[in-house]
Amino acid sequence: MTTQAILQKLPFAPPFLFVDGLDYIDSEKVQGYFTFREDMDCYKGHFKGYPVTPGVLLTEVMAQTGLVCLGIYLLGDEVLAENMTFGLTSTEIAFLRPVFPGEKVTVYAEKVYFRFGKLKCRVTLKNEAQQDVCSGTIAGMIISKPHE
Protein backbone atom coordinates (compact mmCIF):
# COMPACT_ATOMS: atom_id res chain seq x y z
CA MET A 1 0.00 0.00 0.00
CA THR A 2 1.43 3.39 -0.97
CA THR A 3 1.79 6.26 1.48
CA GLN A 4 -0.71 8.25 -0.63
CA ALA A 5 -3.28 5.44 -0.35
CA ILE A 6 -2.80 5.37 3.43
CA LEU A 7 -3.30 9.14 3.69
CA GLN A 8 -6.50 8.90 1.63
CA LYS A 9 -7.89 6.26 4.01
CA LEU A 10 -7.37 8.37 7.13
CA PRO A 11 -10.69 8.91 8.93
CA PHE A 12 -9.87 12.59 9.56
CA ALA A 13 -10.35 15.83 7.65
CA PRO A 14 -9.20 19.41 8.23
CA PRO A 15 -9.20 21.04 10.68
CA PHE A 16 -8.59 17.79 12.59
CA LEU A 17 -6.14 16.14 10.19
CA PHE A 18 -2.68 16.19 11.77
CA VAL A 19 -0.65 14.27 9.17
CA ASP A 20 0.87 16.21 6.26
CA GLY A 21 2.82 13.27 4.88
CA LEU A 22 4.66 10.02 5.49
CA ASP A 23 8.39 9.59 4.94
CA TYR A 24 8.51 5.85 5.62
CA ILE A 25 6.29 2.94 6.60
CA ASP A 26 6.63 -0.82 6.92
CA SER A 27 5.08 -3.49 9.15
CA GLU A 28 7.23 -2.45 12.13
CA LYS A 29 7.51 1.34 12.00
CA VAL A 30 6.33 4.58 10.49
CA GLN A 31 7.73 8.07 10.13
CA GLY A 32 5.51 11.04 9.28
CA TYR A 33 5.35 14.79 9.69
CA PHE A 34 3.03 17.72 10.38
CA THR A 35 3.49 21.49 10.46
CA PHE A 36 1.55 23.48 13.02
CA ARG A 37 0.33 26.46 10.99
CA GLU A 38 0.49 29.84 12.71
CA ASP A 39 -3.20 30.51 11.93
CA MET A 40 -4.54 27.45 13.80
CA ASP A 41 -7.35 28.25 16.24
CA CYS A 42 -5.58 26.55 19.16
CA TYR A 43 -3.06 29.42 19.29
CA LYS A 44 -5.69 32.11 19.85
CA GLY A 45 -5.89 31.42 23.56
CA HIS A 46 -3.13 28.98 24.52
CA PHE A 47 -1.42 31.06 26.04
CA LYS A 48 -2.14 34.82 25.91
CA GLY A 49 0.82 36.52 24.24
CA TYR A 50 2.87 33.27 24.21
CA PRO A 51 1.21 30.73 21.93
CA VAL A 52 2.26 27.12 22.56
CA THR A 53 0.85 23.96 20.99
CA PRO A 54 -1.38 22.09 23.48
CA GLY A 55 -0.07 18.68 24.57
CA VAL A 56 -3.32 17.05 23.52
CA LEU A 57 -2.61 18.10 19.92
CA LEU A 58 0.95 16.77 20.11
CA THR A 59 -0.54 13.48 21.30
CA GLU A 60 -3.04 13.57 18.42
CA VAL A 61 -0.24 14.02 15.88
CA MET A 62 1.51 10.98 17.34
CA ALA A 63 -1.70 8.93 17.39
CA GLN A 64 -2.74 9.77 13.83
CA THR A 65 0.68 8.83 12.45
CA GLY A 66 1.84 6.15 14.87
CA LEU A 67 -1.44 4.32 15.34
CA VAL A 68 -3.82 5.13 12.53
CA CYS A 69 -1.40 5.28 9.59
CA LEU A 70 0.49 2.21 10.81
CA GLY A 71 -2.82 0.44 11.54
CA ILE A 72 -4.07 1.13 8.02
CA TYR A 73 -0.82 -0.25 6.62
CA LEU A 74 -1.03 -3.38 8.78
CA LEU A 75 -4.64 -4.03 7.82
CA GLY A 76 -3.85 -3.68 4.12
CA ASP A 77 -6.83 -4.66 1.96
CA GLU A 78 -8.95 -5.34 5.06
CA VAL A 79 -8.74 -1.68 5.94
CA LEU A 80 -11.74 -0.01 7.44
CA ALA A 81 -15.15 -0.69 6.05
CA GLU A 82 -17.50 2.31 6.25
CA ASN A 83 -18.71 1.23 9.69
CA MET A 84 -15.21 0.92 11.19
CA THR A 85 -12.80 3.46 12.69
CA PHE A 86 -9.93 3.68 15.18
CA GLY A 87 -10.25 4.41 18.89
CA LEU A 88 -7.49 5.53 21.24
CA THR A 89 -7.31 3.25 24.29
CA SER A 90 -4.29 4.49 26.25
CA THR A 91 -1.41 6.95 26.28
CA GLU A 92 1.63 7.48 28.44
CA ILE A 93 3.48 10.51 27.15
CA ALA A 94 6.32 12.57 28.64
CA PHE A 95 6.45 16.17 27.36
CA LEU A 96 9.96 17.62 27.15
CA ARG A 97 9.86 20.74 24.94
CA PRO A 98 7.25 23.17 23.65
CA VAL A 99 6.14 23.38 20.01
CA PHE A 100 5.43 26.87 18.71
CA PRO A 101 3.31 28.12 15.81
CA GLY A 102 4.90 27.41 12.44
CA GLU A 103 7.00 24.46 13.65
CA LYS A 104 7.26 21.21 11.71
CA VAL A 105 7.38 18.05 13.81
CA THR A 106 8.23 14.49 12.84
CA VAL A 107 6.70 11.37 14.38
CA TYR A 108 8.75 8.19 14.77
CA ALA A 109 6.63 5.21 15.81
CA GLU A 110 7.60 1.59 16.31
CA LYS A 111 5.12 -1.25 16.77
CA VAL A 112 5.19 -2.95 20.16
CA TYR A 113 2.40 -5.36 19.20
CA PHE A 114 -0.62 -5.72 16.93
CA ARG A 115 -3.08 -8.44 17.90
CA PHE A 116 -6.83 -8.88 18.18
CA GLY A 117 -7.35 -5.52 16.49
CA LYS A 118 -5.26 -3.64 19.07
CA LEU A 119 -2.06 -1.79 18.16
CA LYS A 120 0.45 -0.48 20.69
CA CYS A 121 3.42 1.69 19.65
CA ARG A 122 6.43 3.44 21.12
CA VAL A 123 6.25 6.95 19.73
CA THR A 124 8.65 9.92 19.68
CA LEU A 125 7.89 13.39 18.36
CA LYS A 126 10.91 15.47 17.28
CA ASN A 127 11.25 19.10 16.23
CA GLU A 128 13.18 20.27 13.15
CA ALA A 129 16.41 20.31 15.19
CA GLN A 130 15.81 16.58 15.82
CA GLN A 131 15.29 17.23 19.54
CA ASP A 132 12.79 15.04 21.36
CA VAL A 133 9.63 17.05 22.04
CA CYS A 134 7.67 14.23 23.65
CA SER A 135 7.72 10.45 23.74
CA GLY A 136 5.97 7.46 25.22
CA THR A 137 3.49 4.75 24.30
CA ILE A 138 0.13 4.96 22.60
CA ALA A 139 -2.39 2.17 22.06
CA GLY A 140 -5.59 1.99 20.09
CA MET A 141 -7.96 -0.42 18.44
CA ILE A 142 -10.30 -0.85 15.53
CA ILE A 143 -13.88 -0.20 16.58
CA SER A 144 -17.29 -0.44 14.94
CA LYS A 145 -19.26 2.76 14.60
CA PRO A 146 -22.71 2.61 16.20
CA HIS A 147 -25.54 2.13 13.71
CA GLU A 148 -27.58 5.24 13.07
CB 86 within 8 A of CB 11: yes
Query: Residues 129, 134, 139, 144: is their CA dihedral positive or negative?
Result: negative
- Annotated active-site residue 147? The verdict is no
Contact 66/109 with Cβ under 8 angstroms? Answer: yes
Partners of residue 111 on adjacent β-strands: 121
Question: Could you tell me the CA-to-CA distances from 110 to 13, 20, 22 in Å, in that order?
Answer: 24, 19, 14
Q: Which of 9, 29, 46, 97 is catalytic?
A: 46
CB 65 within 8 A of CB 30: yes
Per the CB < 8 A criterion, the answer to whether 96 and 132 are in contact is: yes
Active-site positions? 46
